[in-house]
Structure 1
């Protein structure tokens, strides 16, 4: 199944509130015939846009292609949260790699947030501060408080504010959780506006963009030979190729496909709440909880509640996405029963076995990054810059991320569908039972 086309109309953004509240770019023509470039970037989400932008600003000739549209994938339809740190917390990283490596990975993640803020400012896209973490159990609350103290003591990061049950309830407008914290160094953004803003910056830097251009094979050259990127309507002859397709990349590279598994997620948006329900997110922070299939939410500038959650054990989107997500929304905000949902959409992200992003060099002149596991707004943007740096011979940051071991999923890419069914059934049951 080609996830590029399985659930969406070709060349159209999903029916999201983002697409309805964002000025689109003029459609870029498909690639025709042969073209040459220093670097071909495959995938026009945050990873590819960032890579193309930074390469072009460094003087490289760049061609950026996407089978659909700029920002079509997870970059243009996600929850918009710009989280701190890596997908795994620093205690997990310290146990496996030691504190020095954990600090290096934390520093890279801080660079990621700073980069997003910089590009958003250049693009005129506002970022709101604060992401709350809502814990379901007392031990999770205690762990969060320990992590806040640990970050302050050993990482110089004092922006996480622990909250008890009542304080979190006042912060969220919900009694559903045992407590948690709010990270004032994190933030949230209109994700499609950010992607299109990055695209405008890339165009201004000289990047050539082609939409509706599906890459079906790459012929890697040796260290000094040209690489050929073969598309459905033409080909790119280049010195370097960057794979930035993430959950939509398919089996373009077999080793990456075995380690980066697509997974679907679903989001709804309510009608504008106006002056109703002033208790919901009164400080306009975003929020996410500790379920494996995470619930995450925020208010947009029109006071719509944008809420993501829910799982299904197939790569096909359900016929009624709103019906799938609504029970999860009401489990957090029962007071919204009867509130109209104006938008409902799905999207495909990608996860790895250890939930850490997968950076790799599939060939001497090819770089890849993906598998952000729901932590991609910041990390994907950083990944693009790190790959641009690596093309220029400055690979320290890229190599630090690539050094994280990445086990293949059992059975590799060929068992994706049955593995997804089994995994989502198991973790969905864990979430419903509360452990």
Structure 2
């Protein structure tokens, strides 16, 4: 049973441009498309459909961007997930997968400009290396970009260049890619919701979908109303409950972030001085960047199922100081977490559970980019253009029996296993 909630106590919620306050659904509507879930997947799809002239209704159980879309690290990174598997099976898909891997970036860039969305979009990103094998992986990534004659700045960084760029000696090298970047995800999500509303989309908050009646027309029921639609998109991701069969397809994995007070003086010159988004290569990765007001946002995953700021800070504090010991006297203003949907093979899942009921979820930590691609692809499919949807929906899916009952235990075992692998 879903309980309507306000936003978590994150830095993003505290600095949002506009607090949304859409009413709960209290009538019976008839629309072309009903979208369940108002995170990036749902809102991106709703905007793409509204741009195509569809009458769209979005039902959100809590607030716009309440889940992972409004809590994540804000890093916009290339890739779909599963590209290598698909291209190995069908080499003719190589160009299409490359184009789709960057399409989410293009959509975000276009929407920020078209709808004047203020979301602190900034370019610059590095994958860092901790061990020699990571350097080899970065060299392969650079070779792939060179083969594509990639137009944006990209290059390998030596250990010294990495230290100069990031202000830490922890890493032995890095790969710079100026096409990737970072942003304020909640402001982006709400900005896109406002854009969809301006084109006629109907948005309802505090309106969890309780039941779906399938058929030629689909009826979605809430506590005080209903929506009858030609087509439905299930976009609840890790917080999706109404269609329980989808819960067996992914693990709800928690990730946590802390945010320092705004940095100033010498700290600004020594903590990530080039203002890059950073990810390490571990399975239980650490990721960080600066916010627009110069806070360090530092993220990591660990075995914890709560949302107590003190617990989150206690876990992240020593990890952050290992990279930036100069922050030992800095105040931590925020600590929050949330669930992302992760598949065993890290492949996102798009598909249909009925001819007119679509789903898209499980981006395994790359949601900022892939959700925007998925929104466009689903809108295309609803409009009758199936090529990209058919490719993405053909990606293999590995079911997870028992995840509804033992999901937290499975995630804890996974954290232990991958933590050991990271140390090898």
Moved more, 352-361 or 101-110: 101-110
Equivalent positions of 1:4-15 (< 5 A) are: 5=3, 10-15=4-9
Q: Secondary structure at the match of 1:215?
A: coil
Identify which of 156, 167, 188 aligns with 1:173: 167
Q: Partner residue of 1:370? A: 361
Partner Cα separation in structure 1 for residue 409 and residue 291 of structure 2: 37
Partner SS state of residue 266, structure 2: coil
1:289 aligns with 2:280: yes
Q: 1:250 Cα shift?
A: 2.8
Q: What SS class does the counterpart of residue 123 from structure 1 fall into?
A: coil
> 1:160 aligns to what?
154
The answer to whether the 8 A contact 2:12-2:186 is kept is yes
Alignment partner, residue 207 of structure 1 = 201
Among 224, 248, 254, the alignment partner of 1:264 is 254
The TM-score normalised by the length of structure 2 is 0.94
After TM superposition, the structure 1 = structure 2 runs for residues 72-87 of structure 1, keeping only pairs within 5 Å, are 72-87=66-81
1:26–1:359: structure 2 CA closer, same or farther, 3 Å change rule? closer
3-state SS, counterpart of residue 59 of structure 1 = coil
Map of 1:30 onto structure 2:
24
Correspondence for 1:40: 34
Is the partner of 1:320 in helix, strand or coil? helix
1:395 match: 386
Q: 1:367 to 1:373 in 2, by over 3 A?
A: same
Contact 1:253 1:362 in 2 (8 A): no
Q: Kindly state the Cα deviation for residue 183 of structure 1 after the two structures are TM-superposed.
A: 1.0
Q: Which moved more, 1:314-323 or 1:357-366?
A: 314-323
Change (3 A) 1:367 1:286: same
Structure 1 residue 291: deviation in Å?
Answer: 1.4
Normalised by the length of structure 1, the TM-score is 0.92
Partner of 1:241: 232
Residue equivalent to 2:326: 335
Quote the offset at 1:27 in angstroms: 0.4
Q: What's the CA shift for 1:425? A: 2.1
Aligned to 1:108: 100
C-alpha distance in structure 1 between counterparts of 2:177 and 2:66, whole Å: 29
Residue 411 of structure 1: how far off its partner (Å): 3.5
- 2:109 paired residue number: 117
CA-to-partner distance for each residue in 1:270-320, whole Å, 9 max, x for gaps? 0111123212222211111111111111111211101111311x5333562
> Residue deviations 1:50-81, cap 9 Å, x none?
11111112111111010000011111111111
Aligned 1:377-392 pairs, distance under 5 A: 377-392=368-383
Q: Which residue of 2 aligns with 1:416?
A: 407
Is 2:46 the counterpart of 1:56? no
SS of the aligned residue for 2:156 comes to strand
Q: Any conservation in 2 of the 1:48–1:64 contact (CA below 8 Å)?
A: yes
Question: Contact 2:9–2:336 (CA<8 Å) still a contact in 1?
Answer: yes
Paired with 1:100 and 1:158, the residues of 2 have a C-alpha distance of 25
Is the Cα contact below 8 Å between 2:20 and 2:63 reproduced in 1? no
How many matched pairs?
Answer: 420
| Cα distance in 1, alignment partners of residues 87 and 318 from structure 2 | 37
Structure 2 vs 1, CA of residues 275 and 294 (structure 1 numbering), >3 Å: closer, same or farther? same
Mind listing any 5+ residue stretches in structure 1 that lack a counterpart?
A: none
Using the alignment, how far apart are the partners of 1:131 and 1:21 within structure 2?
23
Secondary structure (helix, strand or coil) at the match of 2:186 reads helix
TM-aligned CA distance change 1:159 to 1:93, over 3 Å: farther
1:142 and 2:132 equivalent? Answer: no
